[in-house]
Structure 1
């Protein structure tokens, strides 16, 4: 009879536990690890006993109370200031999964809060993405996630144990650079990328891409990286890499085309700047002048620079991000030339040249006319000079005749003078000199008489 009453009492407690439940708390943990179950309570119950029980919360189902600090693999702590008591369950097993109750002991019905515990294996994942690269090279590990986690913390770790991944993360989205690792989060494509440079064979292995959640377990995806040794001269440098030499003009837009393997259509595409591919800098995310458009049907990337600058002259690497193996990326040597004349400047210069040409033509025309006038004047002066020269010659001959006249005597001088006087033609030519001739003749005659 007492046993029946006890069972009824236990059932009553269980029913009151359900009806008095203040809410449902979901807790998850990994097998072999520990989990914390935190339950709050109302003001005024700080000094009351708290406990954690399982299933129907009978006497045998009570796991631990606040009157004892530790019991088996359970430990409890009551933070009376925050009015929250926390029970830690260690060494989780799959059998620990199920329904629990957080209870506060009081007179009458206790206060209960339902807890649902999920226990999963500490391993990941059912499948993984395989990525290959070569020593001294680089690799980009692509980690997709659900769009609702855009603002959540992202990270990556080595190994396949999700329980310790965040604590052992090599890089996180709030610390985007760590040595040879870089993390870039692209919210638009809901994908974050981890780039590893200076690879060695020790970097081979399994990696977990993680997204941290405030409640429940973090979300993971697995990537298996294989770093191959450099067994060929072709991999020691970029002897086999597709290479292009392109040039542009400062201030003008510029477009370059980068092909990639068709099987990389879903991969993230990249464009980075630097002399070596293992330490180049992503320019698409850092500079707004650079835009990258993926043309999947043609397996090509169109990279556009809206306005070239002199500093854009450099070495670029573009391609798909699955691996840095030969044929998956293109090396571009871009040279930037000085800007040519702006159209407005060119028009102004052309107008100035036309004006200068017109002025030169007008100047030449005026010089030509002035030179013609000078030639005419020079010709007139020449004719006048010739005339004067003829006159001078005549004077010379006259003087000679006068001398001859003086030597031959009075009669000959007179005859000579009369000869010039009687010659009509000569007189017309030398008519301006009649008086002079008389002077010379008279002088000749006087001289003759004196003799």
Structure 2
């Protein structure tokens, strides 16, 4: 009898993927939105086919798509470094509120782990974030905020890892804050490459997954940092520089033209009024003896 019980427990655990898969239990997302569900698997299933099916029970589970087949509504990404498959469901409708199974094909019976998706009206979810993608910088800190409705224990968890409200998580220092009503803030300090990956907020039986991307902080050149214009408008800046150069050249041409005209005018005036030869002739006239014509007497 004991042997039969152990066998049944093993079969049930193998079917639900307790030892092979780790994912959320319940996620709520707004109607019309997009949800991403992470599912971590064991290393020995790197090359196995992963797929998602829909149904409240294993027997009624209908396959939606796999890592070999994607569609406009459903897609899957397999990160073989972190051993996490990410299922994406777009343009959520009321009919998408259902139980799903994160599955891995294997000889004999497939592994599967069930989770529930609830589609809600905007703002009605008890647990929500502005974005499931968060970006931080190496050796820096990031604060991630989650909105919740109700009271109870709030946790910050790493997919496939531990949950924390304070202390260390993969080398980063974690602290949490609930001073703002309805907002749970998690701050991670001293970010490293080890902190890249999927996490989730856990509250009242709901989870909200978020992916933390950690990159190098972008650097700015001196020109960009001192420029009056935004660095994300290179074309506008180029046009303004060109216009400034053209205006400067035009101003220079006008100044040179005015100087030239002034000098020419001054030279003409000096020639007409102050010519020494003209003045001498006017002051000392010269008379010449012209012989009188002879008259013939008749």
More helix by share: 1
TM-score where L is the length of structure 2: 0.47
TM-score where L is the length of structure 1: 0.34
Bigger relative contact order (CA 8 A; separation at least 6): 2
